[in-house]
Chain A
Amino acid sequence: MTDATNPAGAAPAPKHPSSLLAADVRTKRRNAAEARFKAYGLAAVGIGLIFLVALLFAIIRNGTPAFTQTFLTIPVELPEAKLDKNGNRDPADLSKVTTFGYAPLIEVAVARALEENGIDSPFEKQKDLRNLVSASAPAQLRDYVLQHPDDIGKTIEFRMLASSRVDGYLKGRVTRDSLARDKNLDAEHLDLVDQLQAAGLIKKQFNWAFIFGADASESRPEQAGIGVAMIGSFFMMLVVLALSLPIGVAASIYLEEFAPKNRWTDLIEVNISNLAAVPSIVFGILGLAVFIQFMHFPQSAPLVGGLVLTLMTLPTIIISTRASLKAVPPSIRDAALGVGASKMQAVFHHVLPLAMPGILTGTIIGLAQALGETAPLLLIGMVGFIASNAPDGIASGFLAPNSAMPAQIYEWAKRADPAYYERAWGGIIILLLFLMTMNIIAIILRRRFERRW
C-alpha cells in the first residue's frame, strides 16, 4: 500500500509529461473539449443575441413609420348659422350639432384652401375631397368648437389628420399603382397631395398622438394611439407588481423555509408548478368567473386584468424564488440561528438578500410575460375597441374600462387597413421600451445583490 508504483501508475497515457508548456495528448483533448464547451456557451449567447437583433431590427424597421403622421393645416370657417342657430352659445345646443354637421365644413375648407393656393381640383363633387382628410377631423373640429364657443363665426387655422392613404403615400406605402383598384382614394388625389405638400399645407410631423392618444375605430387608423392602452398596462402592472412579488416571495419563503415537508406541502408545490403550465386563457376563464361574475368587479377593468395576470405570474415568481432560496447554503442559516436569530429573522436578514438576484430575475421574466399577455384579457373584456378616453384619476385608472398594450397591438395587427400594420409594430416598440424601463430598476438591483461565496 505504501508502494508508490501502483496500478494507476500504469494508466494508458503517460501520466505527467515532462513539460508544462507542452500539453500531453489527453490534456490536449480535454482542452479542446474545454474550448468547445466555452465556444458552445459563447455561441449560445450569440445565437440568443442574434435572434434578438433580428427581431428588434424587424420591429424597428416596421414600426418607426408609426411615429410620424401626416397633417393638413388649413383655415376653417365656423359659420354661426350652422353651428349655433340660436346664437346663444348654449353648450346644450352646441352639442346638438353632430359630427355629420361638421363634415361639410371641412370639405368646404379643403376646397377653399385648394382654390386659394391655385390648385385645380379634378373632382366634380366637393365630397370627393373628404377622403384626403381623416374621418376624425369633424370630431376634432366639434371638440374644438365645444371648448371654444367664442370662435364660432370666425375662421381658424386648424390642424387635422390626413387620411391614412395620404399618410401612406407620404411614407411610401401607397403608390399610384396600388391605388388602381382602391375605392377610397384615386391617383388624382395624390396629385392634389403633391401640390398641397408643395404649398406647405400637408406636412409629416412627429406623431405624439400615437404615443399618448387613444385607440380609434377601424376606419381611421391615422388617429389611433397607444397611450390609453399604455395607461391600462401601467395600472395592470402596478397591480401585478404590488401583489405578485410580495405574495410570490411570501409563498416561496413559507414553502422553502418553514413548511413541514409533508404531503400537504408537496401538494402545494406540485400545484404551483402546475399552475405555471396552465394556458393563460384558462386564467381568463377563472378571472371572468371569480372576479366579474362572483365578486362583481367591473368588466374590462385594469384592476381585474391585473388580478388575473397576478395569478398567472405568481407561479413564475414562486418557482424562481424557491430555486434561489434553495441555492443559499445552509451554513448561512446555521450561522444566523447560532447567534440566536429566529428562523424568520434568519430568512429575512440573510437568506432573502442572498436569493434576491433569482427573485428579481423571476420578477423580470414574470412581468415581461404579464405585460405581453393577451389571451386572458380576451375573456375579461380588455380586448377590442375599448380605450377611447384616458382615465381621469387613479381610481378610474383601475376601474374604468381600458385595454392593454399587447391587446391593442393584437387588435391592430388584425385590422384590415394596412396602416394599422405599421401601428402594430410601432406599438411593439413602445411596449418594449415600457418593458425595459420597467426592468431597469430590477436589473440594477439585481446586479447590486449578486455575490459569490
Chain B
Amino acid sequence: AAARDQVQVAGSSTVLPYASIVAEAFGENFDFPTPVVESGGSSAGLKRFCEGVGENTIDIANASRQIREKEIKACADNGVSDIIEVRIGYDGIVFASQLNGPEFTAFEPSDWFKALAAKVVVDGKVVDNPNMTWADVNPDLPAQEIITFIPGTKHGTREVFEEKVLKQGCEDTGAMQGFLDSGMDEDAAEHACMAVRTDGKSVDIDGDYTETLARIDSNANGVGVFGLAFYENNTDKLKVATMGGVAPSTETIASGEYPVSRPLFFYVKKAHIGVIPGLKEFAEFFVSDDMAGPDGPLSEYGLVSDPELAETQAVVADENTMGSSM
C-alpha cells in the first residue's frame, strides 16, 4: 500500500465546522495536503482513534466532550497510549425561538425543569408534570403551550443540558429535596431530576440543528436548543433567550457568566507525529492565535475562544501526552 500523506481527522460533528475551517486554511498555506476531516460523532471518532496505531487508523479525533476513563483504557489496550489532549475552546448552548413568535426572551433553569421534568413535586408529593403552558411554569413567561425541541440522547449537548439546566433547575426549585424526601435515594433523585417528560411536550431531536430550526420554523410556540455558532448564523430567523439573566455571547461564555457551555477537544495520536506528514503542523496551526484566537476565524464563526489558549499551544508544541501533563 502506498503511504498515506494527508492527516486524517474524525469525530464530533460539533467540532467539524471548526476543524474544517482550519483544515481549509492549512491546505491553503502549507505544502501539506489538506487534512481530511470526517464527521460521525465523538463516539465513533474516538473509537476509530483507539482502534490502534498505524496508517489505516486516524490521527486526530475530535470530541465535544472529554475522553472517558474507559475509553482511555480501551485505547491503551489497542496500543494507543500516548494521547495529546487539546482543548480548542467552548461551545455555547443557547435557547432560541421563532423570531416573530411569543416573547421567550428570558429563562431560568428552574423554568426548564418545571416545564420538562417527567415528575415534579407538588405539595410534597411526586406527581406527573401537570404544567401545560409556560405561564404555568413562570407567570412572567407567555401563556403559550409548552413545546420544546431538545437534543436527542445521542447528542453530547443533551448531557450538558441535563446537567446544567435541568439538574440546576431541579435543585433551584427544591424538587431535588422533594424527591429525596419522597424516599428516593441520591441516584434515583438525580435521575428523576433529569428525566424528561414523554407526553409530547418535549421533542427529542436526533438530527442536527438544521432540523431543530426547521421545526421551530413551522411551530411558532416552539423553543429549541442550539449551538451558539448556529444561532449566530441564523439571527434572521431566531431570537435567543437569556439564561439566568445572562445573554449568550462569546464574551459571556468565555468569562463563565453564561452558565450553559461545554468545552470542545481534539485528541492527537502522538505515535503518528513525525510519521504522518503535517500532523504536528496541523495541530499547532489549529490552536495558533491566527486561527483559534479571540479574533481568529474560528471565533468569528462562533467558537468561544479558550482563555487559556497559550497553555494549550504549549501542550501541543511540547507534545505533552495526557498522563504527563494532567
Contacts and interface: CB of A to CB of B under 8 A. Distances in A.
**A touches B in complex, CB < 8 A:** yes
Interface of A: 95, 98-100, 135, 139, 142, 174-175, 177-183, 216-220, 288, 292-293, 296-300, 378-379, 381-386, 388-389, 399, 401, 411, 413-418, 421
Contacts of B13: 414
A385 B20 contact: yes
A99 B29 CA distance: 6
Contacts of A382: 38
Nearest to A95: B31
A219 B300 contact: yes
Given A99-B25, A381-B8, A217 B235 contact: no
Contacts of A388: 23-24, 27, 34
Given A379-B40, A379-B44, A413-B210, A217 B24 contact: yes
B230 interface: yes
A385 B208 contact: no
B135 interface: no
Which bracket fits the contact residues of B?
35 or more
**Residue with the highest number of chain A CB atoms closer than 10 Å, among B6, B28, B232, B302:** B28
Contacts of A142: 28
A270 to B, nearest CB: 31
Contact of A416 (B19, B31, B233): B233
Interface in B1-58: 1-2, 4, 6, 8, 10, 13, 16-17, 19-21, 23-25, 27-29, 31, 33-34, 36-40, 44, 48, 51, 55-56, 58
What does DSSP make chain A's interface, helix, strand, loop or mixed? loop
B301 A218 contact: yes
B285 to A, nearest CB: 10
Contacts of B232: 183, 416
B152 interface: no
A331 B295 CA distance: 79
B290 interface: yes
Contact of A381 (B2, B38, B233, B302): B38
Contact of B39 (A180, A296, A383, A417): A383
Contacts of B21: 217-219
A93 to B, nearest CB: 13
Which 7 residue pairs across A and B have the least CB separation, nearest first?
A178-B236, A385-B20, A384-B38, A218-B17, A416-B233, A388-B34, A217-B24
A331 to B, nearest CB: 53
Given A98-B29, A384-B16, A385-B16, A416 B36 contact: no
B290 to A, nearest CB: 6
Contacts of B233: 416-418
B297 interface: yes
A233 to B, nearest CB: 17
A89 B237 CA distance: 49
Contacts of A177: 236
B19 to A, nearest CB: 7
Nearest to B8: A299
A218 B230 CA distance: 11
A135 to B, nearest CB: 7
B153 interface: no
Given A217-B23, A378-B39, A384-B38, A296 B56 contact: yes
Interface centre among B4, B31, B236 (most CB of A within 10 A): B236
Contacts of B31: 95
Nearest to A182: B235
Given A378-B38, A384-B16, 4 more contacts: A181-B236, A378-B39, A415-B17, A416-B232
A174 B29 contact: no
B209 interface: yes
Contacts of B23: 217, 385, 388
Contacts of B115: none
A391 B209 CA distance: 32
A399 B27 CA distance: 19
Contacts of A100: 29, 290
Nearest to B295: A127
A300 B36 contact: yes
A416 B234 contact: yes
18 contacts: A98-B28, A178-B236, A178-B237, A181-B236, A219-B21, A219-B301, A288-B48, A292-B56, A378-B38, A378-B44, A381-B58, A385-B16, A388-B24, A414-B209, A416-B230, A416-B302, A418-B236, A421-B210
Contacts of A379: 40, 44
B229 interface: yes
A414 B227 CA distance: 12
